[in-house]
């Protein structure tokens, strides 16, 4: 039971990072990104492949965050000039094309077999209670990112981002280089998603392309909207509630006899979809709404 | 290896099928001002409705097709009433997210009931024809014919009937149309019903041409988007032309890249159109 809870808590931490990343993009700046999973995958695969190739983690991890950030900046520079309904499909498509790339370019990514035996950091030193150590590592990273983002939100930079979200024409008239701020915010969110990918890959010690389906991006959205977009605490709460929802419904299998594996997965996703639609209609501000004018 | 012409012909059939949801998607986008991601999932719904009629009550495929048209249209209307109508005044992206949620629910209801297996209809096996070295299935010709007729009907409806004209007026300027006495909600209901029906019918075609599985429609969303953007949002003939181009490029593209990259071709088209000519081929005003 302890092992199970430790595993769940670790995954909540990874999801929390993804949600915090999307909160920078959508919650703070109002930028649409339906491809959060792409930057998650870039982080996971870059770090995994470098580490398996023998690179020390002190090199692999910054490289992975760097590549995810650069991918975010690149996509943002191409796509952020578009209207937001176009941006929705471009980011969604980007995530899907990246997954196809991971699946097909086996010379680089090992294709459908995935990357196995990804080294786990400090495994020898914490042998015996490694999962607890890793949970602590994830929680420390989440806490640091959270603290940094709270600072950022209150900083002049964060105020500009919110100004852009509310009315980018006003922000531009006030002399802010709106496009540059948007690219920076998008890249920062992508980098945080990349960091989540790193922690995910080295925790499971295995990654494969089908871990990065488009629906994962939808789960990140649900967590953010559930918790309250624009609010970092909401992002944390949303990730926790989402995983509770997904994991809790897993126990339904023990109660309802005809629930096979496929049916259970389908039922979980029906639940996710229904919660998302009902939230959008009834409570778009989430459980913990952003406080107006919170400094 | 078959000649290039074979790929082009297959692309035309794929494009003909794609045209139905693309037109629905494009018109609904213009009318309701958000991209409805659930439209491509209506193909899946239509395919399974016909499957139930075809396998369950032994209806002929023609009858099952009609059934799919009606039931999917009605479902689209129901979805609109429950999910989208309460959100009419929200920003487009909120509705787009809700539509993704709807697509997710529908796809997984199908998966819950029928599982992930590939299925097919009980139809008499027909022998394909061979014309000038091309393999041409009778189904394919029939599908193409019906798709063209449906497109022509949709276009005639939009251009010639009072409700069709009202629909275009609402799409152009909803407030002005409402002031002039156009019953906005009735126009939306009709467009949703018709669009859902077109997509549901296309799902049966897709099931006949390929196979039936829960992802068959949702997996097409990028192609549908590409066709609509290529043709210019809100233009029915544009969406038809866009669908044909996307269909042909996806099939012919398989000569160059592995078939698994099909989605990437649609994505490339989207990016290219948005960056070079955001108003699409038909040049509809945004």
Q: Of chain A residues 49-108, which have a CB less than 8 A from chain B?
A: 78, 82-86, 88-90, 92-94, 96-97, 100, 103-104
Taking the C-alpha atoms of residue B112 and residue B114, their distance in angstroms, rounded to an integer, is 6
Phi first, then psi: give them for residue B6, nearest 5 degrees.
Answer: -65, -45
User: What is the length of chain A?
Assistant: 295
Taking the C-alpha atoms of residue A153 and residue A30, their distance in angstroms, rounded to an integer, is 14
Per-residue pLDDT tens digits for B99-154:
999 999 999 999 999 999 999 998 887 777 787 778 888 888 888 999 889 988 99
Does residue B111 form part of some domain?
yes
Q: What are the residue ranges in chain A where pLDDT is below 50?
A: none
Beta bridge mates, B212: B119
Beta bridge mates, B119: B212
**Is ipTM > 0.95 here?**
no
Q: How many CA atoms lie less than 13 Å away from B264 in the CB half-sphere?
A: 16
What pLDDT does residue A253 have? Answer: 66
DSSP string, A185-235: HHHHHHHHHHHHHHHHHHHHT-B-GGGG-HHHHHHHHHHHHHH-TT-HHHH
| Inter-residue contact B270 to B226 (CB < 8 Å) | yes
**pLDDT above 90: percentage of residues in chain B:** 61
Domain span including residue B71: 4-276
Per-residue pLDDT tens digits for A94-143:
999 999 999 999 999 998 899 998 988 887 788 778 889 999 999 999 99
Q: What is the tally of structural domains in chain B?
A: 1
Distance from CA of A70 to the nearest CA of B (A): 19
Per-residue pLDDT tens digits for B46-65:
999 999 999 989 989 999 99
What pLDDT does residue B29 have? Answer: 93
Phi first, then psi: give them for residue B119, nearest 5 degrees.
Answer: -130, 170
Token couple for A139: 């929680």
Neighbours of A269 (CB within 10 A): 22
- Sorted by sequence, the CB contacts under 8 Å of residue A41 that are 6+ apart come out as A95, A98, A99, A102, A197, A209, A211, A212
Does residue B155 form part of some domain?
yes
What pLDDT does residue B284 have? Answer: 47
Taking the C-alpha atoms of residue A289 and residue A155, their distance in angstroms, rounded to an integer, is 20
Which residues in B have their CB inside 8 Å of a CB on A? 29, 34-35, 83, 86-87, 90, 92-94, 96-98, 100-105, 107-109, 111-112, 115-116, 221-222, 225, 229, 258, 260-261, 263-264, 266-267, 270-271, 274-275, 278, 286
Neighbours of B159 (CB within 10 A): 11
Taking the C-alpha atoms of residue B250 and residue B266, their distance in angstroms, rounded to an integer, is 7
Taking the C-alpha atoms of residue B45 and residue B206, their distance in angstroms, rounded to an integer, is 12
Q: Kindly list the distances between the CA atom of residue A250 and the CA atoms of A242, B124, B135, in Å, as whole numbers in the listed order.
A: 13, 43, 49
Strand pairing class (B129-131; B134-136):
antiparallel
Token couple for A85: 């309904």
Token couple for A16: 């929390």
| Closest Cβ–Cβ partner in B86, B96, B258 for A104 | B258
Closest CA to B245 of B210, B278, B221, B270: B270
Q: Name the one residue in this structure whose structure tokens are 């931490």.
A: A13
Does residue A179 form part of some domain?
yes
Phi first, then psi: give them for residue B134, nearest 5 degrees.
Answer: -100, 140
Query: Mutate which of A22, A26, A38, A93 to test chain B, going by most B C-beta atoms within 10 A?
Result: A93
Q: Between A166 and B1, whose confidence is greater? A: A166
Taking the C-alpha atoms of residue A86 and residue A119, their distance in angstroms, rounded to an integer, is 40
From chain B, the residues in CB contact with A245 under 8 A are none
Token couple for A40: 């998650």
What pLDDT does residue B69 have? Answer: 96
For chain A, report the end-to-end CA distance as a whole number of angstroms.
41
Does residue A237 form part of some domain?
no
What pLDDT does residue B286 have? Answer: 41
Domain span including residue A127: 2-211
What pLDDT does residue A294 have? Answer: 52
Token couple for A215: 């629906």
CATH of the domain at B84: 1.10.3470
What pLDDT does residue B37 have? Answer: 94
Contact B111 A96 (CB under 8 A): no
Contact A270 B105 (CB under 8 A): yes
pTM of the entire predicted model: 0.91
Instruction: Specify the DSSP class assigned to residue B219.
Output: G
DSSP string, chain A: -HHHHHHHHHHHHHHHHHHHHHIIIIIIT----S-HHHHHHHHHHHHHHHHHTT--HHHHHHHHHHHHHHHHHHHHHHHTTS-HHHHHHHHHHHHHHHHHHHHH-HHHH-GGG-B--PPPTTTTTTTTSHHHHHHHHHHHHHHHHHHHHHHHHHSHHHHHHHHHHH-HHHHHHTT--HHHHHHHHHHHHHHHHHHHHHHHHHHHT-B-GGGG-HHHHHHHHHHHHHH-TT-HHHHHHHHHHHHHHHHHHHTHHHH-TT--HHHHHHHHHHHHHHHHHHHHHH-TT-SSPPPTT--
Average pLDDT taken over every residue of chain B: 90
Q: What is the tally of structural domains in chain A?
A: 1
What pLDDT does residue A82 have? Answer: 84
Asked if residue B84 has pLDDT above 90, the reply is: yes
Q: How many helices (H) and strands (E) does chain A have?
A: 13, 0
Contact B105 A277 (CB under 8 A): yes
Q: Kindly list the distances between the CA atom of residue A92 and the CA atoms of A87, A179, A195, B28, B213, in Å, as whole numbers in the listed order.
A: 8, 21, 20, 20, 22
Q: Between B210 and A14, whose confidence is greater? A: A14
Taking the C-alpha atoms of residue A242 and residue A272, their distance in angstroms, rounded to an integer, is 8
| Residue A155 burial class via C-beta count within 10 angstroms: exposed 0-12, middle 13-18, buried 19 and up | exposed
Does residue A118 form part of some domain?
yes
Beta bridge mates, B134: B131
Helix axes A261-282, B92-114, angle to 10 degrees: 160
Helix axes B39-51, B4-32, angle to 10 degrees: 110
**A124-138, B157-171, B194-208: which is most confident:** B194-208
How far does Cα B227 stand from its chain's mean position? 10
The lowest-confidence range among A25-39, B48-62, B175-189, B192-206 is B175-189
């Amino acid at each position: 039971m302890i092992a199970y809870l430790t595993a769940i808590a670790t995954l909540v931490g990874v999801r929390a990072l993804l949600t915090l990343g999307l909160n920078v993009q959508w919650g703070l700046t109002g930028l649409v990104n339906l491809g959060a999973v792409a930057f998650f995958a870039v982080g996971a695969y870059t770090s995994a492949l470098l580490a398996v190739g023998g690179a020390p983690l002190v090199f692999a991890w910054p490289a992975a965050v760097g590549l995810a950030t650069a991918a975010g900046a690149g996509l943002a520079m191409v796509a952020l000039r578009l209207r937001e309904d176009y941006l929705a499909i471009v980011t969604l498509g980007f995530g899907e094309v990246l997954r196809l790339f991971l699946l097909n370019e086996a010379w680089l990514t090992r294709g459908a077999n995935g990357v196995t035996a990804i080294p786990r950091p400090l495994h020898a030193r914490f042998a015996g209670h490694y999962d607890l150590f890793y949970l602590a590592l994830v929680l420390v990273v989440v806490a640091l990112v959270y603290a940094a983002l709270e600072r950022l939100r209150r900083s002049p930079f964060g105020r500009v981002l919110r100004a852009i979200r509310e009315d980018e024409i006003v922000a531009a008239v006030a002399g802010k280089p709106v496009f540059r701020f948007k690219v920076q915010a998008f890249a920062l969110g992508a980098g945080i998603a990349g960091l989540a990918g790193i922690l995910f890959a080295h925790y499971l010690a295995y990654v494969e392309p089908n871990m990065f389906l488009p629906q994962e991006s939808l789960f990140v959205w649900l967590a953010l909207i559930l918790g309250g977009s624009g609010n970092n605490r909401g992002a944390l709460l949303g990730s926790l509630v989402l995983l509770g929802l997904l994991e809790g419904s897993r126990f339904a299998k023990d109660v309802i006899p005809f629930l096979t594996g496929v049916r259970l997965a389908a039922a979980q996703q029906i639940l996710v979809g229904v919660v998302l639609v009902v939230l959008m209609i009834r409570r778009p501000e989430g459980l913990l709404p952003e406080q107006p004018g919170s400094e | 290896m078959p000649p290039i012409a074979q790929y082009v012909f297959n692309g035309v059939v794929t494009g003909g099928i794609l045209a139905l949801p693309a037109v629905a998607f494009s018109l609904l986008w213009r009318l309701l001002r958000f991209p409805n991601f659930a439209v491509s999932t209506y193909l899946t719904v239509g395919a399974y409705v016909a499957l139930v009629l075809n396998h369950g009550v032994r209806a002929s495929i023609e009858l099952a097709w009609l059934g799919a048209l009606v039931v999917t249209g009605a479902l689209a209307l129901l979805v609109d009433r429950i999910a989208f109508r309460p959100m009419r005044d929200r920003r487009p992206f909120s509705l787009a997210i809700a539509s993704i949620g709807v697509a997710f629910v529908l796809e997984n209801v199908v998966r819950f009931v029928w599982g992930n297996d590939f299925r097919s209809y009980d139809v008499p096996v027909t022998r394909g024809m061979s014309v000038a070295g091309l393999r041409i299935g009778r189904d394919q010709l029939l599908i193409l014919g019906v798709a063209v007729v449906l497109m022509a009907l949709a276009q005639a409806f939009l251009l010639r009937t009072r409700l069709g004209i009202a629909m275009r007026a609402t799409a152009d300027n909803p407030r002005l149309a409402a002031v002039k006495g156009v019953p906005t909600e009735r126009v939306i209901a009709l467009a949703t019903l018709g669009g859902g029906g077109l997509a549901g019918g296309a799902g049966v075609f897709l099931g006949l041409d390929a196979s039936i599985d829960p992802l068959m429609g949702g997996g097409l969303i990028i192609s549908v988007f590409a066709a609509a953007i290529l043709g210019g949002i809100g233009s029915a003939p544009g969406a038809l032309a866009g669908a044909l181009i996307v269909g042909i490029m996806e099939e012919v593209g398989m000569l160059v890249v592995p078939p698994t990259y099909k989605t990437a071709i649609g994505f490339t088209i989207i990016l290219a159109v948005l960056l070079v000519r955001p108003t699409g081929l038909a040049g509809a005003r945004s």
